[in-house]
Structure 1
Amino acid sequence: MNLDWPGCRNARDLGGLPTADGSAIRPRALLRSGHHAGLTPDGIAGVRAAGVSRVVDLRRDTERDARPSPFAGDPGYVHASVLLDVITYEYPDDSYGPLLDHNQQRVAAAFRAIAEAPPGAVLVHCHGGRDRTGVLVALALGVAGVAPDVIAEDYALTADSPAATMRNTLDHLDDAYGGVHAYLRRIGITEDEIDAVRTRLREPAYLAETRDGYDRFAAEYAGLFGDAGARHVWERAMLAGFAELVRAEPGPVLEVGSGIGTITAYLKGLGLDVSGIDLSPEMVAIARRDHPSITFGTGTMTALAHPDATLAAVVAWYSIIHLPDEEVSAALTEFRRVLRPGGYAFLAFQVGDEARHVRDITFHRRRPGQVAGMLREAGFELCLESVRAPDQEGLAEHLPQAYLLARLPRPTEPQEL
């Protein structure tokens, strides 16, 4: 996906590239671009809004000094030149094999900068975002399981970059070293470092399962629940109270896991400036069709495409039910990042201890106290914890339903201990 960063060439997100085993590269995990010296203020803001935790600058020392990076003072900035100022070996126009052969320790340092990056997006760049960037990105995508032809096709999205050049490079790694993995081991990269890059880049299996399940179920789901809205009197009461709180200090609201958009539309009817994201493109398509006045997009709640501290509220209405336990805390931390001080997180989920598998989708039940503890650990203070009995009539529910409303403290307010 191309990124609109004014003043920067060739910027794109590698998210969505398929792996050979049916997974994919997760969005906002690995980004690539040209140099950043020409970024406008809006461009710099765009990079920061992408959740970049590490910038890996592959330029020579002279290039860096001539065009300093606006991120050079950031703790996440790493300068890892893969070339000397003067190249002392011959290299062809149709392969980067000699670059990989003659700069092994420099390539290792650049790869290690990805492996050791803190949580967040890694942005790799050189001068034009083609040659050195293309090589390092190819190594990272290779260990993540992206097929060579797909890597070469992505490389070719850059102007004047024939896919054959990257294909020849990968063939050289096969012939001379036994492949990407063997090359990295040869130059000193450990298995732990390779695993760290693979884990960082690959989409977790639960995301693919949930997306595929809802894509198949979307049309039927819309027929069953398309006009449901807020289905229960207590839900309507709590959503109305939530909307009143947000309207007191208006701001944008995001529903994560918005599905076909019924709750998003209900909140808009309560006067909120609300949009939605969902993992399933088919669910998003139905939401856009049925609610054309509301903005819906695809995305995941653990990597929101929103700048820090910009939202008044995040609503997760029966959507954390698809997250494994270890991912819930990551999602709540992401909610904290995008919420402004005093912003709200509103969660709904079924109460229980087990996980169920229905239509090839996993549904996790949780105890309210468990989720409340996760909210507190993420820096929230609890405003509301409510559990209602199952509705034995219209919906024939079998489990209690939990609702938690939490708020970020303002800077002058002490956090709960």
Structure 2
Amino acid sequence: MILDWPACRNARDLGGLPTQDGGRIRGGALLRSDNHAALTPAAVAAVRASGVSRVVDLRRPRELAELPSPFAADPIYAHVPMLPDEIDYEHPDDSYGPLLDHNKERVAAAFRAVAEAPPGGVVVHCRGGRDRTGVLVALALTVAGVGPEAVAEDYALTEDSPAVAMLMTLAHAERVYGGVESYLRGAGVEQRHLDAVRERLREPAFLTETRSGWGAFAEDYAELFRGELAAKIWDRALLGGFAELVRAAPGPVVEVGSGPGVTTAYLHGLGLDISGIDLSPEMVAVARRDHPQVRYEVGSMTDLRLPDASLAGLVAWYSVINVPDEALPAVFAGFHRVLAPGAPVIMAFQVGDETRVREDITFHRRRPEAVAALLAAAGLEPVLRTVREPAEHPGLVEQVPQAYLVARRT
């Protein structure tokens, strides 16, 4: 995805690239660009606010003197030169093989800088965002499981960067060293660093499955549940109470997992400044079509691209049902981070202990007391917990009780 970073060239988010085993690269995990010397103070602030935890600057020391980085004094900044000031070997136009051969320790240090970065996005850049950046990004993507053709296609998005050059580079690593991982290990990268980059870059399998499943079902689901709130008096009552809480300390609200936009649009109608995010681009397209008065974006509750303490409220209406148990603590910690002190979150989900699969989507039923305990552990104090009996609605016969929780950031 091309990033809107004014005064930056080649700024891209590598998220969405496919892995060879059917997965994909996590959005916001690895970003690339040219140098940042021309960034305005507002752009620098935007980069910091985007969730970036590390800026890896691959330039030589003399390049830093010519074009200082605005992040140089920032804790997120790491200067890891990948080339010496003077190069004493031939470097052909159609391969970066000599760069790998003659700079093993430097390449290894740059790779470790990505692996050891704090949680958050990593930005890799050099002077022009092409050669050194392209090589390090290619190595990281290959370790994460992206195939050489996809790596080369992304590299070619940069001006004057023929895909064949990266294909030849990866082929060189395979022929001379036995592959990228073997090259990196020989250069001094430990297995834990390889594992850390894979973990950082690869999207969890449940997200890939959920996106694909809901994408295929988006139009049918929207049609089936277009008027569902009209028949759900208790849902409307609880959402109305949530709206009153937000209006007492107004500000922006986000619904995570907003689907076809029915709940988001309802709360917008109650006067909230609300937008929706959903993992499925198809769901977002449906929501934008059916509710043009509300803003909807593609995103994930597992990686909220929002500033700390920026929300007056958060809605998770039947959306954590697709999140496995082991991922819930991190999701709730993300809710806590983006909510302002005292701001509420409201959730709905089905009661039960089992996991079901329908339309190739996995659904988790849960006990409200267990979810309330996880919210409390994340610093979200439960203030309301209620359960209603299953009911029959147009197009839907509920099989189990329905749970509702409201909590506040402490």
CA displacement 1:95-128 (0-9 Å, x = unmatched)? 1111111111111111111111221111111111
How much is the aligned-residue C-alpha RMSD, in angstroms?
1.6
Assess, with a 3 A threshold, how the Cα gap between structure 1 residues 78 and 252 changes in structure 2: closer, same or farther.
same
Unaligned 5+ runs, structure 2:
none
CA contact (8 A) 1:54 1:78 kept: yes
CA change 1:393–1:101 in 2 (3 A) is closer
The total of aligned residue pairs comes to 409
Tell me if structure 1 keeps the 8 A contact 2:231–2:393: no
Q: In the aligned structure 2, how far is the partner of 1:68 from the partner of 1:138?
A: 26
Contact 1:343–1:408 (CA under 8 A) maintained in structure 2 = yes
SS at match of 1:83: coil
Other-structure match for 2:270? 270
Shift in Å, 1:287: 1.0
Deviation at 1:342, TM superposition (A): 2.7
Instruction: Please state how far the C-alpha of 1:221 moved relative to its aligned partner.
Output: 1.1
Query: In the alignment, does 2:86 pair up with 1:86?
Result: yes
Deviation of 1:7 after TM superposition, in Å, equals: 2.6
TM-score for both structures, normalised by structure 2: 0.96
Residue of structure 2 in register with 1:413 after alignment = none
TM superposition outliers: structure 1 runs of 4+ over 6 Å: none
Cα–Cα, structure 1 residues 230 and 85, in superposed 2: closer, same or farther, change >3 Å? farther
Cα gap change, 1:8/1:334 in structure 2, threshold over 3 Å: closer, same or farther?
A: same
- In the TM superposition, 1:6-405 aligns within 5 A as 6-229=6-229, 231-391=231-391, 395-405=396-406
Q: Tell me the CA shift for residue 302 of structure 1.
A: 1.0
- Call closer, same or farther: CA 1:214–1:391 in 2, change over 3 Å: same
Distance in 2, matches of 1:242 and 1:5, equals: 36
Distance 1:346 1:218 in 2: 23
**Structure 1 residue 70, shift from structure 2 partner:** 2.3
Alignment-derived partner of residue 412 in structure 1: none
Deviates more, 1:98-107 or 1:70-79: 70-79
Give the residue type in structure 2 aligned to 1:398: Q
The letter for the 2-side match of 1:335 is: F
Structure 1, 67-76 or 232-241: larger mean CA deviation: 67-76
Contact residue 115 and residue 197 of structure 1 kept, 8 A:
yes
Moved more, 301-310 or 195-204: 301-310
Deviations 1:217-272 (A, max 9, x none): 12221221112136522211111011011112221111110111110111111111
What's the % identity of the aligned pairs? 64
Task: Check the 8 A contact 2:82/2:110 in 1, yes or no.
Answer: yes
Question: Secondary structure of the equivalent of 1:75?
Answer: coil
Runs of at least 5 residues in structure 1 that lack an aligned partner in the other structure: 410-417
**Whole-angstrom CA distance in 2 between matches of 1:386 and 1:11:** 47
Measured in 2, the distance between the counterparts of 1:244 and 1:159 equals: 52
For 2:354, the aligned partner's letter is: E
Contact 1:48 1:307 in 2 (8 A): no
Structure 1 residue 81, shift from structure 2 partner: 0.9
What is the CA-CA distance between 1:408 and the residue it aligns to? 1.8
**Which whole-Å CA distance do the structure 1 matches of 2:131 and 2:73 have between them?**
25
Aligned to 1:406: 407
Deviates more, 1:20-29 or 1:335-344: 335-344
Shift in alpha-carbon separation, 1:231–1:190, aligned structure 2, 3 A: farther
Displacement after TM superposition at 1:134 (Å): 0.5
Deviation larger for 252-261 or 156-165? 156-165
Name the SS of the counterpart of 2:65 in structure 1.
Answer: helix
Query: 1:5, 1:44 within 8 Å by CA — same for their partners in 2?
Result: no
